[in-house]
Structure 1
Amino acid sequence: ASDESMFEYLDVVSKMFDSEAEGYEFYNKYALEKGFSVRRSYVEWDGSNKYIILRKIVCSRQGFREEKHMKRKMEDRKRRPRSLTRVGCNAKLVITRQEETGRWFVKDFIDEHSHPLAPRDLSCLLRSHRRISDEQKADIADMEKCGIRKYRIMDILCFQYSGFDKVGCIKRDIYNFCHANKQETISAGDANTVIMHMMARRERDVDFFFKYLVDEHGHLKGLFWADSQSRLDYEAFGDVIVFDSTYRTNKYNLPFVPFVGLNHHRSTVIFGCGIISHETSQAYEWMLRTFSDCMAQKHPISVITDGDLAMQRAIRVVWPDSNHRLCIWHIQQNIVRHLHDDDVKEEFRSFIYDTSFIEEHEIKWIQFLQRNKVTSEESWLHQMYQMRKLWCAPYLEGRCFLGLSSNQRSESLNSVLHTHLEGKMSLFEMLEHYERCLASRRINEALQDVEALQSVPFTEENASPLEKHAATVFTPSVFKMVLWSIDTVSKSQIREILDGSEDSTYVVSKQERMDKKFGVRIEEQGGLLHRVSCSCRKLECAGTPCSHIFYILGILKQTILPSCCVPTRWTMNAKCAYAPTRKNQMYDYSVSLQRYRELRNCSHAASFKACHSDEDYHRLKMLLEAQHHGKQSSFEQADSKESSNAQHNSIRFGPLMPHSEKVDKVLDPVHVPGRGAPKKRLQAKTKKSRSQNICVAIARILVTIDVN
C-alpha cells in the first residue's frame, strides 16, 4: 500500500463520533468521494435493548443474492428479475460505543473493493448519496399541490441547483416521496379522509355544504359539496345550469358531476360538484335534491345536460318547471358516430338551427324520416326525433338559456387549467384537483373584476349615447355581445307604429328580411320609459337588448338604457350584496411550515440583494451556513432506539388537511366495472383517455356560447 493509503487508513481508524448516525454520515461522505454506495448492516444492542452498541456499515455491493432467488425459473416469476448488484465486496466500517463516555470509535475498517468504483460525477447518483432534504420535501409537496407533474418538479430542481449532481435526488425519489406523502394523507381511508376533511371545513365555515350517501355495507356511493362562495355564486348566477356526468376521473370509475354556469363576465363559474356510484334515475334524483337543499330550494330557470335518459327523468321529477335542453356538442359528436352519409348529416344538422314554425318543422321531420326509411324505434335517428323538443330550435325559442347552446366554442378550453387528471386518482386527489380548478376560476374572475372596475371599453367619438352608456353599465365581456346588436341597428327599418292607451308597439324588420316582422313594445309611466320588450325575446333569453330595441330607443332620442334593459346579472353590481372569497380554503399549514414559508420568502429577497455585492454575499452565506450546521449538529445528539429518522418521518412536509373526528367510518366506494354493452341513451358518451384535464371536463360542457 502507498503512503497516501496508509495515512488515509490511520485517519479513518482514529475517528471518534458522538453518535451512530454521525458515524454513518462520515462513512457515506467518504464513499461519495471514493465512488461507492453504503448501507447499514449488522447491529448489536445492549443488555436492556435500549441502546445500540455496535453497528456495521458495508458497501452496498457486499454479499450475494440469496440462492433461492437465483434458482427460480423464469416461468415461475411474475416479473423479470432485477440486475445483480451484490458481488461479495468486503469493504466495511464497524463502529462501537464506549459505555463510559457514550462516544463511538472505529473497531474495524476495510477499504478494498471487488468491483469498479464510480467516477465522482456519477457517484452522487448512487443510492445512499441520494436524499431529499426537508426543505426540498416542503417545496416538492407544494409544487405537487399546484398540479406540477413530477418530472417537471425534477426539471425545476435541476435548474435551481444548477445541475442534477447538485440536487441530491433523482426523479424516482420524487415519485416515491410523493406517493408516500399521498398514502399518509389518506391513511384513514380514501372516502373517510374526504368526509373528515369536509366535516372539518364545515366546522370552520358554517356555510360550507356537503352531504354523502352510503350503501348498506357502509361504502360511499354518493357525495355532493359546495363551499360558501359557490353558494353565493349560485344565488347571483344560478339562472342557467350546465352539468354532465361523462367524466369518470377516479380509480373507482365513478361519474364526476360538476354543476357550472356563467358569471357576470360570461366566464365559467362553479356552483358545486358531486360524485355518484351509478347513473340511475334514483342516483340523479338524490343528486339534484341535494343540490336544491344546498341552494335553499332555488331551482334553475334552465338546465343544459348531455343525453343521459336517467338524467332527463330525474330533471323532470325534481325540477319540473325548469327548461331543459341537450348539449349541442354531444349531438354533433354523435352525428359523426351514427350517420355516415354526408347529405344526411347536413340535413340532420339543419334541424338544430331551423327557426321555422313548429308546424312546418314537424312536416320537415316526417319527410326526413320517410326519405331515409327510419322505421325502427331503436334507431338513433328515431330516438333523436322522440327527443326533438329538447334540442330543436323551434321548441326552445323564447326560453332563457343566456345564449348557451354548446356549439363549437373550442376557445373556451383555453380558460382552464392544463394540469392532468389521472384515471387512477383517489377521491382525495380528485378533490384537490377540483379545488385547484375552483381557485383558477376565481382568480380569473378577480382579474376580470379589476379590468371592469378600472377601465371602460373603447367606443368611437361619434358613437351613439346609448352605446357609450352601455359601455359603462355592462361588464366588458357582455358589452362585446351588446355591441353586436348595436352594430346591426342600421339594418333595421320601421314598418308601422301601433299606439295604445299606455303603450306603443313599433313593428320593425331587417332590410334583407322585410317579410319577418318584430314588435318592440314601449310602456311609459309619468312620461318615462317603464318597460321595453321585443317579440324576438332576446332580452328575456340572452339577457341583453336586441338590435330592434336599440333601433327604437334611438328613434325616441333616448340617451341611456332603461333599467329593464340592463339585467343586474350582467353588471358589476351582480355580486355587490356578497363579500367574495377569492382564496382557496382547502389547506392549513403547521406552525413550523408557516414559519418556513415566511423565512423562505424573506431569504429569497435578501439573497437577491446580497448577490450583487461580494461583501454582502459572503456575509449572508456565512450566516446561513452557520445556522444550518448549528441546527444539524444539535439534532444529531439523539442516541436512543427512537432514531432521528423516525423523528423526521413524523414531520408533515405538505399542507395539513383539516380533519374532523366527528364522523362514522365511511368505506371507500366499490369500483364500478366497465360499461360493457352501451346503455340506452340518447347520445353515446365519448371514450375518455387515461389522462385528461378536469377543468377541460368542466369547460367542455360549456363548450360554446352562442353570442348571436
Structure 2
Amino acid sequence: MNLPIPKVYNSADKLFQTVQRYAISQGFALVKKRTRKNQRGELKNMDICCDKGGVYNSSSGPDEETRCRQGSFRLINCPYELRAARRNNEWHLEVYNNEHNHIFDNDISGHPIARQLSEQQLETVTAMTAAGSRPREIVSTLRHNDTSTLVINRDVYNAREWLRQQNLAGRSPIQALIDELKEGNFTYKYECNDTGSITYLFFMHNESIALTRQYSSVVLMDWEEKIDYQWALDHFARLFNDVPKPGVIVTDRKTALMNALKITFPNSVNLLCVWHISKNILKNCKPQFPRETENTKSNEWKSFLSKWNEIVQSVTEKEFEEKWSAFCITYTNKSRIIAYLEDTWLPLKEKFVAAWTNLYFHLGTTVTSRVEGAHSTFKAYLQVSTGDLYWVVSNQKKEFDAMVASERIHIPLFALNNPLYMNIKGKVTTFALRKINEQHQKANRAT
C-alpha cells in the first residue's frame, strides 16, 4: 500500500502526525517503535510500526498456554513498518514493510494511540481537574471542543493519574502535602502516631489567618461528625493570642463541639444555625402530617412551618412566650411534635431565637451555609479518584486566588463612577459594596 502523503517533512513531529492521521483514516494506528539519536543528542532516525506489531513478553506471568486461554491481546506481530531519517535538516519517509496481517477496523476508537490526548486537550484536562470537574464532565467538554475526538472516560482517568504522578515527583501524597504547606505560605501543625502516620493536621493559609484575625467578630464552623474537636479548636484559638477572640461562633447542634467551644472560647457566644434546625424539624416533624399527593395538596405543613418560623423570629421574650403558647394550643393533637420541640430545641432557644440572639453582634449571620459551601468544595476534591489532601490544598489555593482576583475586577454598576466608592472599590468585596449601598440608599430616603 503506497502512502498518498508527502515523503519529506520539516520535523519529526509533523511527519508522525501526518502518517498517524492517514493511518487512522484507513482503520489502523501507528506507534513509534524505535528512535535513534546522534552524538549531539539530536534525533536522527525513527521507526514507525502498526500498533498491532510486536508480541507480548511471555517470560513473566502465566505460562503461554494459560495466557492464550485466559487473555485477549492487541499485539499480533503485524509486520507493517515505516522508517524516517533526518537528512540535511529534513525528515524523509519511506515504507519499509507494506504488509498487514489483519483486517482494518471500521471503528478505530479501540486503539489507545488513536485516543491519545493532544497538548491542548491535556491542558483542558489539567485546568478542569484543578477546578474539581469530574471525568465525565471533562470528556463532554473535550468532545464539544472537538467533535472528531475519540477520547473516553478511561483516557481522562489515565491523564489525571499521569498529572498526579508528575506533581508528586516521586513523593508520597503526604510528603508532597507537607512540602506544599512549607512552600505555600501556610501555617500548619500535625501529630503522628507510633507508626509515623499523621493522625491530626491543622493548616491555614497566612492570608486567611490575617483576614480571620482582622475580621473575627463572627466565625462560622462546619464540622464532620467524628473528629477531635478540642485538638483542632486549640490550634485555631492560638491565632487570636494577641487579638480579640471571636465574639460569636455559629455552628450546627453538635454537643461535643458545643462543649469544646465552652472550654476553648469561654467568652464567645455560640449560636446555632437556623437552617440546620429547620432541616432537623423537617426530618422529625413532617412525617406527623398527612402526606401530599399529586391530587391532594395540604397547606397544614406549610402553616406549621410558618408558625414555627414566627416563633424563631420573636424579637422579645414576651412575644416568644405568647407565640409558643399559641403554637402549643394550635397543635394540641400533635403531642409528639410538641414533645420533640420541647426536649430538643427549647432548652437551646437562647442560641437561635431572635429575642436572645439579637443581643449579640452577629451581623445578621444566623446560618452556616457559606462555610458549608466551602466545605462542600473541599470534600468534592477528595471524592474524585485522584483526590488527596495535597491535591486539595494546591487547588484550593488557586481557587482562593481566582476568587480574590474576580472580586477585584468585578465592580457593581452603582460604584463605577460614584465618588463615594472611589477609594474602596477593588479593595473590598462586592458583598461589602452592596451593603454600603443599601445604607447609602436608606440615608438618602431619610433625608
Q: TM-score range by the shorter chain?
A: 0.5 to 0.7
2:239 match: 294
1:450 positional shift? 7.4
1:300 positional shift? 0.7
Count of matched residue positions in the alignment of Structure 1 and Structure 2: 395
- Give the conservation status (yes or no) of the 8 Å contact 1:209–1:225: yes
CA distance in 2, matches of 1:288, 1:457: 43
CA distance in 1, matches of 2:173, 2:419: 49
Among candidates 373, 389, 407, match of residue 350 of structure 2 = 389
SS of 2:176's equivalent in the other structure is: helix
Q: Deviations over 1:328-377 (max 9, x none)?
A: 00001011101134476555444312233269739947994995657999
1:334 match: 280
CA distance in 2, matches of 1:219, 1:365: 55
The one-letter amino acid paired with 1:337 is: K
SS of 2:81's equivalent in the other structure is: strand
Map 1:236-247 to 2 at 5 A.
236-246=214-224
1:483 positional shift? 4.2
1:271 match: none
The alignment status of 1:307 with 2:253, answered yes or no, reads yes
For the structure 1 residues 235 and 374, does the alpha-carbon distance in structure 2 shift closer, same or farther, using more than 3 Å as the test? same
For the structure 1 residues 308 and 444, does the alpha-carbon distance in structure 2 shift closer, same or farther, using more than 3 Å as the test? farther
1:68 match: 66
SS of 1:336's equivalent in the other structure is: helix
1:113 positional shift? 3.5
Among candidates 92, 95, 99, match of residue 111 of structure 1 = 99
1:355 match: 315
1:435 positional shift? 2.7
- Give the conservation status (yes or no) of the 8 Å contact 1:212–1:223: yes
CA distance in 2, matches of 1:36, 1:131: 14
For the structure 1 residues 88 and 354, does the alpha-carbon distance in structure 2 shift closer, same or farther, using more than 3 Å as the test? same
CA distance in 2, matches of 1:483, 1:54: 73
| TM-score of the pair, normalised by structure 2 | 0.67
Q: Deviations over 1:648-707 (max 9, x none)?
A: xxxxxxxxxxxxxxxxxxxxxxxxxxxxxxxxxxxxxxxxxxxxxxxxxxxxxxxxxxxx
Among candidates 159, 164, 171, match of residue 177 of structure 1 = 159
CA distance in 1, matches of 2:75, 2:176: 46
1:558 match: none
1:447 positional shift? 4.0
Q: Deviations over 1:486-524 (max 9, x none)?
A: 76x6xxxxxxxxxxxxxxxxxxxxxxxxxxxxxxxxxxx
2:297 match: none
- Give the conservation status (yes or no) of the 8 Å contact 2:192–2:200: yes
CA distance in 1, matches of 2:232, 2:18: 61
The one-letter amino acid paired with 1:427 is: L
The one-letter amino acid paired with 1:302 is: V
For the structure 1 residues 445 and 213, does the alpha-carbon distance in structure 2 shift closer, same or farther, using more than 3 Å as the test? farther
1:144 positional shift? 3.1
- Give the conservation status (yes or no) of the 8 Å contact 1:59–1:92: no
- Give the conservation status (yes or no) of the 8 Å contact 2:30–2:50: yes
1:480 match: 438
SS of 1:192's equivalent in the other structure is: helix
Q: Deviations over 1:72-110 (max 9, x none)?
A: 5xxxxxxxx8xx56595754339799xxxxxx9999725
1:223 positional shift? 2.6
SS of 2:196's equivalent in the other structure is: coil
- Give the conservation status (yes or no) of the 8 Å contact 2:52–2:78: no
For the structure 1 residues 396 and 134, does the alpha-carbon distance in structure 2 shift closer, same or farther, using more than 3 Å as the test? closer
1:427 positional shift? 1.3
The one-letter amino acid paired with 2:177 is: V
CA distance in 2, matches of 1:454, 1:96: 62
CA distance in 2, matches of 1:178, 1:118: 28
1:308 positional shift? 1.0
CA distance in 1, matches of 2:410, 2:240: 26
1:93 match: 81
Q: Deviations over 1:16-50 (max 9, x none)?
A: 9xxx999988975774454213457899xxxxxxx
Among candidates 192, 206, 211, match of residue 214 of structure 1 = 192
1:111 positional shift? 0.9
CA distance in 1, matches of 2:17, 2:381: 40
1:234 match: 212
1:311 positional shift? 1.1
Q: Deviations over 1:192-237 (max 9, x none)?
A: 22111011123xxxxx422223334332233333333323322432
- Give the conservation status (yes or no) of the 8 Å contact 2:174–2:390: yes
Among candidates 176, 193, 202, match of residue 193 of structure 1 = 176
1:493 match: none
Among candidates 36, 39, 52, match of residue 28 of structure 2 = 36
CA distance in 1, matches of 2:337, 2:142: 65
SS of 1:294's equivalent in the other structure is: helix
1:527 match: none
**Stretches of structure 1 lacking an aligned partner (at least 5 in a row):** 44-52, 73-80, 98-103, 203-207, 247-254, 256-277, 459-473, 490-553, 555-708
CA distance in 2, matches of 1:481, 1:194: 45
Higher helix share: 2
The one-letter amino acid paired with 2:198 is: L
SS of 1:304's equivalent in the other structure is: strand
Greater RCO, CA 8 A, separation 6+: 1
- Give the conservation status (yes or no) of the 8 Å contact 2:311–2:320: no
SS of 1:339's equivalent in the other structure is: helix
The alignment status of 1:438 with 2:400, answered yes or no, reads yes
For the structure 1 residues 362 and 67, does the alpha-carbon distance in structure 2 shift closer, same or farther, using more than 3 Å as the test? farther
For the structure 1 residues 365 and 290, does the alpha-carbon distance in structure 2 shift closer, same or farther, using more than 3 Å as the test? farther
1:401 match: 362
- Give the conservation status (yes or no) of the 8 Å contact 2:135–2:157: yes
1:155 positional shift? 5.3
- Give the conservation status (yes or no) of the 8 Å contact 2:193–2:199: yes
The one-letter amino acid paired with 1:399 is: Y
- Give the conservation status (yes or no) of the 8 Å contact 2:382–2:388: no
- Give the conservation status (yes or no) of the 8 Å contact 2:48–2:83: yes
Q: Deviations over 1:220-264 (max 9, x none)?
A: 233333333323322432211111114xxxxxxxx7xxxxxxxxx
- Give the conservation status (yes or no) of the 8 Å contact 1:353–1:393: yes
CA distance in 2, matches of 1:355, 1:30: 77
CA distance in 2, matches of 1:153, 1:220: 33
CA distance in 1, matches of 2:320, 2:143: 68
Among candidates 271, 280, 285, match of residue 325 of structure 1 = 271
1:427 match: 389
The one-letter amino acid paired with 2:66 is: K
1:541 match: none
1:138 positional shift? 4.2
- Give the conservation status (yes or no) of the 8 Å contact 1:209–1:227: yes
SS of 1:221's equivalent in the other structure is: strand
- Give the conservation status (yes or no) of the 8 Å contact 1:28–1:38: yes
- Give the conservation status (yes or no) of the 8 Å contact 2:249–2:270: yes
1:587 match: none
The one-letter amino acid paired with 1:37 is: A
CA distance in 1, matches of 2:75, 2:270: 72
CA distance in 1, matches of 2:397, 2:54: 49
1:461 match: none
For the structure 1 residues 317 and 154, does the alpha-carbon distance in structure 2 shift closer, same or farther, using more than 3 Å as the test? same
1:191 positional shift? 2.4
